[in-house]
Structure 1
Amino acid sequence: MNLAAFFTESGSYDAALELANKAKEKDKEAWSKHRYLGLTFLLTSNDLLKDEWALKDSKLFLELSRNQWLFEDYITNNWAQVAIVGNAPKELHLKKGILIDQYEKVVRFNGAITEYPYSIDYGKKTNILVINPRYFETPRNAKYDLDFIIISDGNLYSSKNISLKLHDLSQFSSRICFLPRKLDISLTKRISASPSSGLKFLSWLYSINGPISRARIFGFSLTDQSYGVATSYSSGQRVGLNTIHNWTNEKEYLESIIK
């Protein structure tokens, strides 16, 4: 099924369908056990799969695809009034919360804490949440009525059973999308490491509207963190990451896209 998903992404639909059918011959439950959004959409579009879960996944595939385009329009229309707030502790004790909340749109990442007293330095408003879908890395927090949720890890074609990890996010926003896969791949090559969610998102903004004003970026230091370790303002503790990031290369790239 993994190879069938690969062929779906490459546009080799006949090969994808052939491989999917062979997988089902070996295991009649293969299509439900190994769910890839793009492949499921292909199967339902060819009337080969009509189960309720498959129809829901196909609808999700279309929504995620559309929402990526909608987000790019949204960010362009609001570009002058977007603040991007990371989780690095560099803003502690600087009382920038009021300044951050004055922006029309505020972006935050993963389990960002906006309750008092952190709101004094980091603000309360959240319009866009960039989040890793893996539960063991990112506990959900109650941020409702979000304009967008951006999924920082995964994609429409090669992420197995990703729909099972996204089902709860619809309660927070009706507009959910992935970061562009091509951007993730090119950025990984550029910095020779797996990029952090923050850097991937900033790189996407740069690809849409060009250089980002330094004045609108908060909580991004990349200097108080070591290889494979991150520090959050809300915990004050260095935490080992499941994915190893190269903060030195990230900082160098970040400096090239901000002004």
Structure 2
Amino acid sequence: MARLDAAPAPVSGRDAPLPSFGPNWFAPVLNIFRDPPDAPLARVDDRIAALRAAADNRIPALPAATRLAKMLFDFRGPTPQTLRALEGLQARVPALARSFAGRLSAIQAAAYGEAFNWGKAVEVTAPLYRRNKVAAVAMSSLAVIEKMHLFGLDPSGVGASAGEALQRSQEHEAGFLERLADRSVSIAVVGNSPVEIGRGQGAAIDRHDLVVRFNNYSADPAFRIDYGGRADIWVRAAGHTGVWARPGSKFSSVVFSGPDRRHHGFAPWDILDVVRSGGNPVFVPTPLYVDLAAELQYAPSAGLTFLYWLRRLRGAFQDANVSVYGFALTDQPQGGSRHYFERPRSVAPAASSHNWTAEAELFQRILQS
């Protein structure tokens, strides 16, 4: 059961045995990631357990090993167990394949970086940058790109831009969290479900001190009577080509959902674009994301992640000056979505890692507890 009143725990993670590999260990991994949209979603623990089904030291398939590495990093955090697992995966890559294991090395470097072991992060990443700087930057996290620039291994302007983005986020973070936690500041959290259509809540939404919106939303006049038009905080998926581009300067804060995207996001051009357009990037704490994902056993949506974070900061919503609009979750087809601004509003299911039933249950607990 998620501890709604608890502060995010330090990254100490969910201890688990190191993954071991049988001769065909990668087959269930690929099957899991290829589930058709209408198939039951595989739980996080089940996915990881499938990777440990057979136990010997055969060499794993590189694509599957890379997926396992990212999954462990995202859903377990940079724990000692995760770091050892990544080291084990890297050690099993044959010497002749090392030049093709850049993505795996980039994940390992990002995990070391988030664990504040920059010596190891640079050691893992330096060969990639010496071999091909352009490719290395394209597969690195924001924090690693900045560090490689400081170590003189990336003389391009990308590393300097990464440093500017990190500094901007650090300078903005304290004020953002202080205002988010301040119960005297009224907050409207506005989802994209069509549930508000016809209710005429737009003016009430816009009267709040802060209005939070998610991913693709519409402030067109046709929808303002029900959904309002203001947007102070924009919570968006990182690295998602389906998210509409918006200048960062339109918002007081741009929150990137998922585990801390300074470390867990790769090819972070969307973060750099927000900073270049005058925006202030904000990142979800990895421990909070790990706790929420463990509760759901699925990747949480941006909306539920933000509500969970806000509940941790403010306590029970009944007394927290928080109003929630445009959330139903039960009207989402498994693996798909419905938005108030789409015609038709019934969208065929698409590939997704969210479990809307589990999210709806936790959503009700957040509102009622």
1:110 counterpart = 2:219: no
Question: Identity of aligned pairs, percent?
Answer: 23
CA contact (8 A) 1:151 1:177 kept: yes
Larger CA deviation: 165-174 vs 205-214: 165-174
Task: Call closer, same or farther: CA 1:161–1:231 in 2, change over 3 Å.
Answer: same
Task: Call closer, same or farther: CA 1:256–1:79 in 2, change over 3 Å.
Answer: farther
1:69 counterpart = 2:178: no
CA contact (8 A) 2:257 2:283 kept: yes
Give the corresponding residue for 2:263.
157
Q: Deviations over 1:183-217 (max 9, x none)?
A: 22211110111111100011111121112249710
Q: Give the counterpart letter for 2:290 in structure 1.
A: I
Matches within 5 A, 1:137-216: 137-141=242-246, 145-153=250-258, 155-162=261-268, 164-170=269-275, 173-213=278-318, 216=323
Task: Call closer, same or farther: CA 1:183–1:106 in 2, change over 3 Å.
Answer: same
The correspondence for 1:98, drawn from 198, 203, 208, is 203
Query: Matched residues in 1 for 2:244 and 2:250: separation?
Result: 18
Task: Call closer, same or farther: CA 1:141–1:49 in 2, change over 3 Å.
Answer: closer
Larger CA deviation: 185-194 vs 137-146: 137-146
Task: Call closer, same or farther: CA 1:116–1:172 in 2, change over 3 Å.
Answer: farther
Higher strand content, 1 or 2: 1
Q: CA deviation at 1:25?
A: 4.5
Matches within 5 A, 1:234-253: 234-235=341-342, 236-253=345-362
Q: Deviations over 1:133-158 (max 9, x none)?
A: 34532122578531111112461113
Query: Matched residues in 1 for 2:248 and 2:170: separation?
Result: 23
Task: Call closer, same or farther: CA 1:143–1:5 in 2, change over 3 Å.
Answer: closer
Aligned length: 258
Q: CA deviation at 1:242?
A: 4.0
Query: Matched residues in 1 for 2:163 and 2:248: separation?
Result: 26
Query: Matched residues in 2 for 1:78 and 1:147: separation?
Result: 18
Task: Call closer, same or farther: CA 1:201–1:172 in 2, change over 3 Å.
Answer: farther
Q: Which has the greater radius of gyration? A: 2
Give the corresponding residue for 2:328.
221
CA contact (8 A) 1:108 1:129 kept: yes
1:120 counterpart = 2:234: no
Q: CA deviation at 1:130?
A: 0.9
In structure 2, stretches of 5+ residues that fail to align are 1-104
Task: Call closer, same or farther: CA 1:131–1:173 in 2, change over 3 Å.
Answer: farther
CA contact (8 A) 1:126 1:143 kept: no
